[in-house]
């Protein structure tokens, strides 16, 4: 494993666990991509670089003969120099010209993985986990240094890429676009899988055949967004959960992004991913550097399932940080759907008392405890306890909750400001806005300019005061709208287009400060549900609120899609009321528990109003959660059902890393009459081991369970659930 450079052939070979990635430095010092896929032993894949018989394209000459940038598999595409496909890098020089061409200068290979200044990124736990290659390139005309950074993980099929630019000239250069990865695949015969949705319906899976031309997912909203996730998988047409090739790309960034696949005239595909070039321009003064975010690339030769498990292992071990990285999270109860804005100290203590009796471990006080906020039209920005509601103050409330045996958590929406707030009255210029234009509100709020240090200092100061004033052990960091009228009155005209990225750098700066100053706090991020569920956020918060839709049946699709990339241990999932507040669907308590158990697990309903039956269900669910959480959090996750393809059922399972134990969950979505017991085939078990079904006592061979399958007992009614716990004997 690791990275090699064959000096005589001028070939770089990057080997991750079972993956190889090769590219060549031509005599003209251009970088040509040769291969990305399953591990191969050979280094000399030069024969793969063919010349087409194209005649009418601009040509460059090198050892390969006359060939065109437009046909060559480029390692990193630049604009304006005879490659008409999607460029990764576009700049503008002092004369307004934008041609750019990079050539290899030198490289270095070292153990470990560098950080990216101010940005989240995956990391090595020890230097021997990874090797890194930095390729120093230059545009000689501009004197722009372009460093292509690759890291391979030795134990995972993961290669990461990012890019660093340095202006080595005496003149200002404007970066018009800088994407982080570029792969020229030798085929167009692939399917593209993306995650689409909206509020309360996030990350639904969509798959389609690649076509000629450009197909993309993106966000220009300033947040990664509900509607499209910064993730793409390019898979072989035959790929299923278990077979076929899958290339997964995940961007470690939470703002506006672009991921684009372009089917070209020569039946090939270019894929690029990174910061969205839309409305982007970064002024790079002489000597200045710019670092682009990281793209994680996962290769799987065993279908989409293995791709997901690789992402899960990477993100669980090399992205998530902090106290809660590897431990069971407290079972929480959040008062949002129980009370909305209508609560006070007494109500919260009633909920806490009942919760303590049921075995719940933490009370989270959601929106409405601060300023004059009794609905969603006021108060954001005024992070001062409203003592009309929180009678006796916050410290007293937290102490009372702690006395009942529960931890205490609190909600903030730090990036926002209500026009009806003391903060806005004092600083109407602190929000993102274009002077003289209407300030569009969404949910009656505006966005604070997080690029400004003074704004961040003020908001953080208030948060710090609150968090230091009582024994607070959890924070929910929400973000309930996207950015419009992007502008401020601070940056000069030629830097206004930097704001999208500067905003994200500001948010990350504040998140870093929060997690450094309060390392004991469990942070859960959120954005109107799952509007910023991305790998960038996972660097700061080990869990993210998956969706405001906690209906168990809606969650099947949402959690299935989310699990394509993100570990289930990161998915905030709660048991909430039935009928569900958003879709009005009635589901059994047991099913709601089984679906929430896949995620971080908690409750979001008024426990003071539950029947004894429901309370007993909660007690049983908590026993089950405690019993299985280690396996769910740390095991390998296998999708068995597909809620997008089948309305009868969904099913998934967890297998311990040592294959000693497995948990199968089965949800009967719609009851179909006159059928036999449903036989499903399990996955990931040790074929040679024997497993005992804990409930029935039946013993099966691992190979039997995976090939012949297991029977799910007949369940009566829609929305029923069943679990099977298997132990190796």
Backbone φ, ψ for residue 193 (5° rounding): -110, 130
Q: 718 catalytic, yes or no?
A: no
Contacting ligand GLA (CB under 6 A), which of 548, 577, 636, 665? 548
For residues 528 and 561, which CB has a smaller minimum distance to ligand GLA in the complex? 528
Which pairs count as long-range contacts for 60-66, CB under 8 Å and 24+ apart, including other chains? Answer: 60/28, 60/30, 61/28, 62/26, 62/27, 62/28, 62/30, 63/26, 63/27, 63/28, 64/26
Q: What span, in angstroms and rounded, lies between the C-alpha atoms of 283 and 507?
A: 21
Minimum distance between the CB of residue 529 and ligand GLA, rounded to whole angstroms? 4
Contacting ligand GLA (CB under 6 A), which of 156, 190, 504, 526? 526
Minimum distance between the CB of residue 665 and ligand GLA, rounded to whole angstroms? 24
The 3-state DSSP class for residue 352 equals helix
For residues 369 and 700, which CB has a smaller minimum distance to ligand GLA in the complex? 369
Distance separating the N- and C-terminal Cα atoms of the chain? 36
**93, 548, 549, 577: the active-site residue:** 548
User: Residue 291 forms beta bridges with which residues?
Assistant: 164
**70, 129, 382, 478: the active-site residue:** 478
Q: Taking the CA of residue 549 as centre, how many other CA atoms within 13 Å lie in the half-sphere pointing to its CB? A: 22
Q: What is the number of helices (H) and of strands (E) in the chain?
A: 12, 41
For residues 367 and 665, which CB has a smaller minimum distance to ligand GLA in the complex? 367
Q: Does 76 bind ligand GLA (CB under 6 A)?
A: no
Q: Does 593 bind ligand GLA (CB under 6 A)?
A: no
Q: What span, in angstroms and rounded, lies between the C-alpha atoms of 414 and 436?
A: 25
For residues 29 and 444, which CB has a smaller minimum distance to ligand GLA in the complex? 444
Q: Of the ranges 14-22, 342-350, 523-531, 619-627, which one interacts with ligand GLA (CB under 6 A)? A: 523-531
Q: Does 411 bind ligand GLA (CB under 6 A)?
A: yes
Secondary structure of 611-624 in HEC code, one letter for each residue:
CHHHHHHHHHHHHH
Q: Which residues contact residue 477 at a Cβ distance below 8 angstroms, ignoring those fewer than 6 apart?
A: 412, 413, 414, 511, 514, 523, 524, 525, 526, 541
Kindly calculate the radius of gyration of the chain based on its CA atoms and give it in whole angstroms: 27
For residues 73 and 530, which CB has a smaller minimum distance to ligand GLA in the complex? 530
Minimum distance between the CB of residue 526 and ligand GLA, rounded to whole angstroms? 5
Task: Work out the burial of residue 658: count CB atoms within 10 Å of its CB; fewer than 13 is exposed, 13-18 middle, 19 or more buried.
Answer: exposed
For residues 260 and 521, which CB has a smaller minimum distance to ligand GLA in the complex? 521
Q: 191 catalytic, yes or no?
A: no
Contacting ligand GLA (CB under 6 A), which of 77, 215, 254, 480? 480
In the region spanning residues 99 to 128, those forming contacts with ligand GLA, defined by CB under 6 A, are none
Q: What span, in angstroms and rounded, lies between the C-alpha atoms of 233 and 297?
A: 9
The 3-state DSSP class for residue 167 equals strand
Contacting ligand GLA (CB under 6 A), which of 75, 367, 382, 549? 367
Minimum distance between the CB of residue 452 and ligand GLA, rounded to whole angstroms? 24
For residues 39 and 340, which CB has a smaller minimum distance to ligand GLA in the complex? 340
Binding string, 664-693, against ligand GLA, x = CB under 6 A? ------------------------------
- Position of minimal CB gap to ligand GLA: 367
Minimum distance between the CB of residue 530 and ligand GLA, rounded to whole angstroms? 8
Element spanning 179, H or E: strand 173-185
For residues 271 and 336, which CB has a smaller minimum distance to ligand GLA in the complex? 336
CA neighbor of 205 nearest in space, from 190, 194, 219, 218: 194
Minimum distance between the CB of residue 350 and ligand GLA, rounded to whole angstroms? 20
Contacting ligand GLA (CB under 6 A), which of 12, 104, 299, 545? 545
Q: Does 336 bind ligand GLA (CB under 6 A)?
A: yes
Per rule CB under 6 A, count of chain residues that contact ligand GLA:
11
Tracing tokens 């206004």 back to the chain, one arrives at: 496
User: 155 and 71 in contact (C-beta within 8 Å)?
Assistant: no
Q: Does 414 bind ligand GLA (CB under 6 A)?
A: no
Minimum distance between the CB of residue 347 and ligand GLA, rounded to whole angstroms? 16
User: 422 and 380 in contact (C-beta within 8 Å)?
Assistant: no
Q: Does 529 bind ligand GLA (CB under 6 A)?
A: yes
Task: Work out the burial of residue 630: count CB atoms within 10 Å of its CB; fewer than 13 is exposed, 13-18 middle, 19 or more buried.
Answer: middle
For residues 419 and 701, which CB has a smaller minimum distance to ligand GLA in the complex? 419
Q: Does 580 bind ligand GLA (CB under 6 A)?
A: no
Q: Using CB under 6 A as the criterion, which residues of the chain lie in contact with ligand GLA when the complex forms?
A: 336, 366-367, 411, 478, 480, 526, 528-529, 545, 548
Q: Where in the sequence numbering do the catalytic residues fall? A: 478, 548
């Amino acid at each position: 494993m690791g990275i090699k450079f064959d000096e005589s052939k001028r070939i770089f070979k990057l080997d991750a666990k079972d993956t190889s990635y090769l590219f060549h430095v031509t005599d003209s010092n251009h970088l040509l991509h040769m291969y990305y896929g399953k591990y191969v032993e050979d280094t000399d894949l030069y024969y793969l670089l063919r010349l087409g018989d194209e005649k009418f394209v601009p040509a460059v000459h090198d050892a390969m003969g006359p060939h065109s940038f437009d046909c060559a598999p480029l390692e990193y595409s630049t604009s304006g120099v005879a490659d008409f496909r999607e460029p990764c890098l576009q700049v503008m020089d002092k004369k307004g010209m934008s041609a750019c061409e990079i050539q290899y200068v030198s490289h270095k290979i070292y153990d470990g993985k560098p950080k990216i200044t101010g940005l989240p990124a995956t990391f090595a736990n020890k230097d021997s986990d990874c090797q890194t290659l930095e390729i120093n390139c230059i545009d000689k005309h501009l004197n722009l240094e372009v460093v292509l950074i690759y890291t391979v993980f030795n134990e995972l099929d993961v290669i990461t890429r990012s890019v660093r630019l340095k202006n080595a000239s005496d003149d200002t250069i404007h970066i018009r676009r800088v994407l982080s990865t570029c792969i020229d695949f030798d085929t167009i015969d692939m399917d593209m899988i993306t995650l689409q949705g909206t509020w309360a319906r996030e990350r639904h899976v969509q798959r389609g055949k690649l076509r000629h031309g450009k197909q993309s997912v993106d966000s220009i909203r300033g947040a990664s967004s509900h509607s499209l996730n910064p993730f793409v998988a390019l898979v072989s047409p035959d790929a299923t959960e278990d077979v076929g090739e899958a290339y997964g790309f995940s961007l470690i960034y939470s703002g506006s992004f672009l991921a684009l696949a372009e089917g070209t005239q020569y039946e090939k595909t270019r894929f690029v991913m990174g910061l969205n070039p839309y409305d982007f321009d970064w002024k790079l003064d002489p000597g200045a550097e710019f670092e682009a975010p990281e793209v994680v690339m996962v290769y799987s030769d065993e279908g989409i399932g293995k791709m997901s498990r690789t992402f899960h292992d990477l993100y669980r071990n090399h992205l998530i940080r902090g106290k809660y990285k590897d431990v069971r999270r407290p079972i929480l109860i959040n008062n949002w759907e129980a009370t909305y804005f209508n609560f006070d100290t007494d109500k919260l203590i009633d909920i806490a008392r009942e919760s303590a009796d049921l075995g719940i471990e933490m009370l989270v006080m959601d929106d409405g405890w601060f300023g004059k906020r009794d609905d969603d039209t006021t108060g954001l920005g005024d992070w001062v306890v409203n003592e009309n509601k929180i009678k006796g103050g916050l410290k007293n409330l937290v102490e009372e909750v702690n006395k009942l045996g529960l931890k205490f958590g609190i909600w903030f929406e730090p990036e926002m400001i209500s026009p009806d707030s003391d903060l806005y009255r004092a600083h109407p210029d602190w929000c993102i806005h274009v002077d003289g234009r209407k300030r569009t509100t969404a949910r009656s709020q505006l966005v604070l300019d997080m690029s400004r240090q003074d704004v961040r200092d003020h908001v953080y100061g208030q948060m710090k005061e609150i968090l230091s004033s009582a024994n607070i052990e959890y924070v929910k960091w929400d973000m309930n709208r996207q950015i419009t009228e992007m502008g401020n009155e601070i940056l000069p005209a030629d830097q206004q287009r930097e704001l999208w990225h500067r905003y994200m750098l500001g948010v990350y700066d504040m998140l870093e400060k929060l997690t450094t100053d309060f390392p004991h706090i469990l942070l859960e991020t959120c954005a109107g549900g799952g509007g910023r569920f991305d790998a960038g956020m996972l660097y700061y918060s080990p869990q993210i609120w998956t969706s405001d839709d906690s209906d168990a049946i809606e969650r099947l699709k949402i959690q299935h899609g989310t699990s394509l990339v993100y570990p289930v241990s990161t998915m905030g999932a709660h048991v909430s009321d039935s009928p569900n507040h958003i879709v009005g669907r009635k589901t059994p308590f047991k099913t709601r528990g089984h679906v929430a158990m896949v995620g971080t697990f908690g409750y979001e309903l008024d426990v003071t109003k539950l029947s004894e039956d429901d309370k007993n269900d909660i007690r049983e669910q908590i026993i089950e959660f405690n019993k299985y959480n280690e396996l769910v959090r740390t095991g390998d996750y296998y999708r068995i059902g597909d809620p997008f393809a089948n309305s009868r059922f969904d099913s998934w399972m967890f297998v311990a890393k040592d294959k000693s134990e497995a948990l199968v969950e089965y949800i009967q979505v719609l009851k179909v009459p006159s059928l036999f017991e449903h036989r499903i085939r399990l996955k990931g078990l040790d074929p040679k081991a024997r497993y005992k079904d804990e409930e029935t006592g039946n013993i099966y061979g691992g190979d039997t369970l995976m090939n012949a399958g297991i029977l799910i007992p007949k369940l009566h009614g829609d929305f029923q659930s069943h679990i099977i716990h298997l132990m190796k004997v």
